[in-house]
Amino acid sequence: MIDDVVVAGAAEVPYIRRPPPGVTTPGLLAEGLRLALESAGLGHGDVDGLGIAAFGLGPDHVIDLAWHLGLELRWMMEDSNGGACMNMLAHAVRAIEAGDAEVIALIAGDCLVGDRFVELASNYNQVTRDYLTPLPVGGPPALFAFTTQRHMMRHGLSRAAYGHVVASQRDWAARNPLARYRAPLTIEEYLEAPMVADPICLFDCPPVAAGADAVVVTRAARSTGRRVHVRAVGCSFNHDQHLGDGLSTGVARIAPGIWETSGIGPSDADVISVYDDFPVMVLVQLQDLGVIEDDDVARFIVEDLATHRVAVNTSGGMLTVGQCGPTGGLHGLVECVRQLRGEREAGQIEDARIAIVVGYGMVLYRFAACSVLAVLEAV
Amino acid sequence: MSDGLDIPVCAQCGLAAFPPHLACSHCGSMSWDSVVALTGVADEITVLRRTVGSDPEAPAIALGSVRTQAGPTVIARLDLEVRAHDEVELAVKRGVIRARIARTRSGLRSSG
């Protein structure tokens, strides 16, 4: 178990669907730093480590950003793992344990909307450029349409099952002032929504936005308020070499070790955050975690997820808040830290002490290849 | 337009992989042969109706997740008549992997 590393602060720069002129990726990252430091009760001069995930930072790199932010650093990283950018947390924890840095800010953010988003989606990697964009595929919805169909077939689910995932997160979103789509969603409304790529409908797709998420990682002694310890964090990359069907992620590979390291299991969690682009992946990752103990997905949706008996994606998730490049990789971490610090007001889970956070990202061809799993405990 | 789709096959262990890789994920070999997959099965199909930034008047297109006879699953543009679980013929036209309902051919062909 990791003893002495905490997430001392967490913040989200409110997402904007249509950012006005002047809103930039570096500007959003800077605001994320400011808010996270404020949350941590630490100052600009305390920061000696910086990790950044942003697709739209180029041609600059993190050193350029650090310069413009006036930061002198001993530790720095530039992450490119999208929705799995929480792997920066694993690196930051090791760096602090090793004494390479004392106060590390991890920030994910982007201002990639409209044509810039299309450019990103069309050139996500060489394989996308060579084999998907010419079809055209137009981004991930069509790919996860296939994944959803396989999942429906395997578990005997109808479209309504995925509607319950979205509706459940809408219910949470009603208690999150930072969520964009906060109105309740009925299953009937879900089923009647415009199709994007059958069976993926409009409500299955996180709205593209501009914004940022940020956390501050440091030693327990440097934190103020309730301490949120990182008890374990691990990563998996290329768990199945893309030979599988996308219905299992690297989480299944690393979860047993994480439970052993932390002494905490999936049933201990007061709040869980899993990457939710798209609803099918919420269910897949919960299965990989072992949260759906009997593997009866239909029962779990009705009895545990829709009722909030298991608290999943309590911010409303990306499906209601939005997606700003790789922010989904830190959004769940920010939400869970805020839950464990008792900062969520109307959306607060009573006596929340343990959180499980999962990141998932980087679609190589048919599905994504990177997973991160972290266990947090408030003391 | 070329008949079939070239599928790389590891020269050492025979693992078929698509898209092409530098090294085999099974044995690490960097030597590759290839076969031509003439057919496959459209395991899942979808109709792509809209994307971010697309012309709302643009016609919908059909895409499929096609399990090739060589093993790997590929994403292909489908003829609109293709239904899930149909056997399809594969071809590459102007860099686009295409699939239509199989009529006469089946199986694999050695490349070259």
**Least Cα separation, residue B77 to chain A (angstroms):** 6
Distances (CA, A) of A144 to A196, A198, A348: 11, 10, 31
- Interface ipTM above 0.90: yes
Out of B54, B73, B84, closest to residue A138 by CB: B54
CA distances from B35 to B4, B39, B40 (A): 9, 12, 13
pLDDT beyond 80 at B51 = no
Distance CA A189, CA A203 (A): 9
pLDDT in tens, B20-47: 999 999 999 999 999 999 999 999 999 9
Contact (CB, 8 A) for A319 and A203: yes
pLDDT tens-digit map of A13-67: 999 999 999 999 999 999 999 999 999 999 999 999 999 999 999 999 999 999 9
Beta strands in chain A (DSSP E): 5-16, 49-53, 75-79, 103-111, 195-197, 200-201, 210-219, 228-237, 271-273, 354-363, 368-378
Residue B108, pLDDT above cutoff 80:
no
Which of A1-10, A88-97, A306-315 is least confident? Answer: A1-10
pLDDT of residue A246: 97
How do strand A103-111 and strand A368-378 relate by DSSP bridges? unpaired
A152 at B interface, C-beta within 8 A: no
Rounded-to-integer distance, Cα A43 and Cα B111, Å: 64
Q: How far apart are CA A316 and CA A206, in angstroms?
A: 11
Q: Which residue has the higher pLDDT, A224 or A317?
A: A317
What helix, strand, coil percent values describe chain B, rounded to 5? 0, 50, 50
Report the residue of chain B nearest A151, measured CA to CA: B44
Between chains, do A365 and B97 touch, taking CB under 8 Å as contact?
Answer: no
Distances, alpha carbon A287 to alpha carbons A151, A199, A238, A293, B112, in Å: 12, 21, 18, 8, 45
Residues A241-252 pLDDT 10s: 999 999 999 999
Phi then psi dihedrals of residue A201, to 5 deg: -110, 180
* Selected residues 73-92 of chain B with any CB under 8 Å from a CB in chain A: 73-77, 84
Q: What is the pLDDT of residue B112?
A: 53
C-alpha distances in Å from residue B10, one per residue of A111, A130, B3, B15: 42, 21, 22, 5
Distance of CA B23 to the CA centre of its chain: 20
DSSP of A147-181: HHHHHHHHHT--HHHHHHHHHHHHHHHTT-TT-S-
The position carrying tokens 């409500």 is A203
Distance CA A73, CA A193 (A): 49
Kindly determine whether residue B44 and residue A150, on different chains, have CB atoms separated by under 8 Å.
yes
- At position A289, the amino acid (one-letter code) is L
Question: Do the Cβ atoms of B100 and B88 come closer than 8 Å?
Answer: yes
Distance in angstroms (rounded) separating the CA atoms of residues A146 and A149: 5
Condensed to tens digits (0 to 9), the pLDDT of residues A180-197 reads 999 999 999 999 999 999
Q: Measure CB to CB from residue B96 to each of A118, A135, A197 and give the nearest one.
A: A135
Residues in chain A within 8 Å Cβ distance of B94 = 134
Nearest to A142 among B25, B43, B48 (CB): B48
Cβ neighbors of A81 (< 8 A, separation 6 or more) are A53, A87, A326, A329, A359, A361, A362, A370
Quote the pTM value. 0.96
Q: Quick check: B63 and A142 CB within 8 A?
A: yes
Q: CB of B1 within 8 A of CB of B99?
A: no
The overall average pLDDT reported for chain A is 96
Count of all residues that appear for chain A in the document: 379
Torsion angle in degrees (nearest 10) through CA of B21, B23, B27, B29: 120
Nearest CA among A250, A82, A362, A135 for reference residue B74:
A135
| Half-sphere exposure in the Cβ direction for B47 (13 Å, CA) | 11
| DSSP SS3 for A201 | strand
Q: pLDDT digit string (tens) for A72-108?
A: 999 999 999 999 999 999 999 999 999 999 999 999 9
Report the gap between the CA of B44 and the closest CA in chain A (Å): 6
The pLDDT score that the predictor gives to residue B59 is 85
